[in-house]
Structure 1
Amino acid sequence: MHASESLAVRPATGLPRPVIVGHRGASAYRPEHTRASFELAIDLGADLVEPDVVVSRDGVLVVRHENELSRSTDVAGRPEFADRRTTRLVGDRQREGWFTEDFTLAELRTLRAVERMPGLRPLNTTYDGRFGILTLAEVVEVARRRSTPERPVRVLAELKKPTWFGAHDLPMTELVAAELRRLGADTADGSVVLQSFDAAALRQLRATLGPAGPTMLQLVDDGAGDDALITPAGLREVSTYAQGIAPSRHRILLRDAEQALTGVSDLISRAHRAGLLVTPWTLRPENAFLPVHLRRGEDPIGPGDMQTEARLLLALGVDGLITDAPDVAALARAELYDTAAEVPAVRS
């Protein structure tokens, strides 16, 4: 048997090899959700790019990390929008700032993107102001334009608080269903995969778009509130409307309070037994996000050894990795899948 043959045996739910998902693009290297970030992610090896989706006042699906705009755009410095500053309860959090649902798409087009984590990614601030706000349709267009028959690129769209938007007269699930149909992306093999923490919204979309509709992933946070989703009964329930889970990587690679790795869970095997893909989030290259044994030096913004974290998750059998640094994840995948094909066969 070739070494590559054993590595190529994926679970029945999986793909020939795990996919790399560029989280908001290549956000370790460019401000997130910008055209430059998405295009760079594809250049660096991403099979999918992942935008967060929120809604404008006139019902357009736009891509921002959240509906509050002050951390990811220059809105706070725009005097023409000073009167839009407000305080709003979003989910269970009181937020102050400027919100997408108070702006039309035309108004959002006037804003410029900035780096959302300037303290951790100061180099990205050199791109502040260069790029505007995109719609979901424009991200799909980027993926389609960069796709080839040999290497298709898809969009993993995260729907942010769809039930909350629906309660505020912006029916996100209806808007998403209509937009996917308009784009011809409403089937399982289409350009768009959907994910959300909001299980009710995913169920509604499955009912609306049908069993042959787009692939869906149930996002799973690492807080106790999502524990029920990963019980045997919870995973079986998820499998009735979604094809996979996208758990926090901390659900798989267990850490203690000092951020030391203490072990691994059996979540991957349990999800696979339930017929579900497993695509954890979010691998980031900076020391601040890594377990202590993978940090290199004392600087929290310095690069650590994310490649080893990716290697471990891949070796455990994940079906994909959601990452800010798709190049690093792609290198780890290549070690396990691509270069293995060059290992000579063992002759008897």
Structure 2
Amino acid sequence: MHIIAHRGASAYAPENTFAAFDKARELGADFIELDVQLTKDGKLAVIHDDKVDRTTDGAGFVRQFTMSELEKLDAGSWFGPEFQGEQIPALEDVLQKYHKKMGLLIEIKSSKTQPGIEQAIGKLISRFGVSMNTIVQSFDAGAMMTLHKLYPSIPSAVLIKPRFGMVPRSRLRHIASFAGYVSVKHTMLSSFLIESIHSYDLKAFAWTVNGPKTGRRLESWKIDGLITDYPDYFKKEGKP
């Protein structure tokens, strides 16, 4: 079971910053989950929202800024004064630091408002060399189909919120034709659904799991990965 740090160790440091990513690694996470948005100059910025207002001292849509302009914003002070000066990272810099050192789960937030983001991500990952530990995910199955068509060797995942904890087998079969993972809201998971996902040779991730008791239950159901703000809650035996 992989421990996946949600936006880094976001309970302890400002989300989607190197401070949070380094903390995740320190706490023993296997993967860092992060979000990307396209900038005005076609770069990939690591930030969850389509606007910078919530997590920086700036205002406006990410797509209205160049990457260099985004890097001038303070993305840490909102979380705590000790993080003043933390920057919005470029995905390229994150790959430079962590690629093949730990897993990366990269989420496309909105492909419809950012045409070409699948191509941009695929091209960048390919530059560093495709790895089974660099996975791209989205709620937009169409975006993952596009990525698979353009870059079939890049692993991908589809985020889903199943109604009443059920996913039609036809949907799982469809997802399995272009992706290798399904990422499900943990409150909607059951042992039966995980078993069903596995029956299509898909792996199952659960988000966002912040309770050790929930984590133990999901592990007993053979979940493949837990996405959490607290990676230290789920330390594996043998890890410091």
Please classify the TM superposition score into its range, dividing by the shorter chain length.
over 0.9
- Of 36, 42, 54, the residue aligned with 1:59 is 42
SS of match in other structure, 2:150: helix
Cα shift readout 1:200-227 (whole Å, capped 9, x = no counterpart): 01001111112xx1111111135x4x98
User: Is 1:29 the equivalent of 2:12?
Assistant: yes
Shift in Å, 1:317: 0.7
Shift in Å, 1:179: 1.1
2:105/2:136 contact within 8 Å kept: yes
Residues 38, 114 of structure 1: alpha-carbon distance in 2 compared, 3 angstrom cutoff = same
Cα shift readout 1:20-47 (whole Å, capped 9, x = no counterpart): 1111110000010111110110111111
Amino acid at match of 2:58: V
**Paired residue total:** 239
Structure-2 separation of matches of 1:114 and 1:106: 17
SS of match in other structure, 1:162: coil
- Of 303, 308, 311, the residue aligned with 2:213 is 308
2:99/2:134 contact within 8 Å kept: no
Percent identical among aligned pairs is: 31
Structure-2 separation of matches of 1:21 and 1:40: 12
Structure-2 separation of matches of 1:312 and 1:141: 36
1:197/1:220 contact within 8 Å kept: yes
Shift in Å, 1:316: 1.0
Amino acid at match of 1:49: I
- Of 169, 178, 181, the residue aligned with 1:244 is 181
User: Is 1:111 the equivalent of 2:37?
Assistant: no
Shift in Å, 1:137: 1.4
- Tell me what 1:296 maps to: none
Structure-2 separation of matches of 1:115 and 1:204: 37
SS of match in other structure, 1:53: strand
Amino acid at match of 1:72: T
Shift in Å, 1:190: 4.7
SS of match in other structure, 2:80: helix
Alignment of 1:1-150 (within 5 A): 18-76=1-59, 98-114=60-76, 124-144=79-99, 147=101
1:39/1:142 contact within 8 Å kept: no
Shift in Å, 1:164: 2.3
Shift in Å, 1:278: 0.4
User: Is 1:322 the equivalent of 2:231?
Assistant: no
Structure-2 separation of matches of 1:265 and 1:277: 13
Structure-1 separation of matches of 2:193 and 2:40: 40
SS of match in other structure, 1:280: strand
Shift in Å, 1:173: 1.2
Structure-1 separation of matches of 2:208 and 2:142: 23
- Of 110, 114, 122, the residue aligned with 1:161 is 110
- Tell me what 2:128 maps to: 183
SS of match in other structure, 1:165: coil
Structure-2 separation of matches of 1:191 and 1:235: 22
Structure 2 stretches lacking a partner, 5+ long: none
Amino acid at match of 1:282: T
Residues 323, 115 of structure 1: alpha-carbon distance in 2 compared, 3 angstrom cutoff = farther
User: Is 1:232 the equivalent of 2:169?
Assistant: yes
SS of match in other structure, 2:72: coil
- Tell me what 1:93 maps to: none
Cα shift readout 1:161-218 (whole Å, capped 9, x = no counterpart): 113211xxxx111111211222223xxx3552111111001001111112xx111111
- Tell me what 2:158 maps to: 218
Amino acid at match of 1:179: L
2:45/2:91 contact within 8 Å kept: yes
Structure-2 separation of matches of 1:54 and 1:326: 24
Amino acid at match of 1:26: A
Shift in Å, 1:154: 1.6
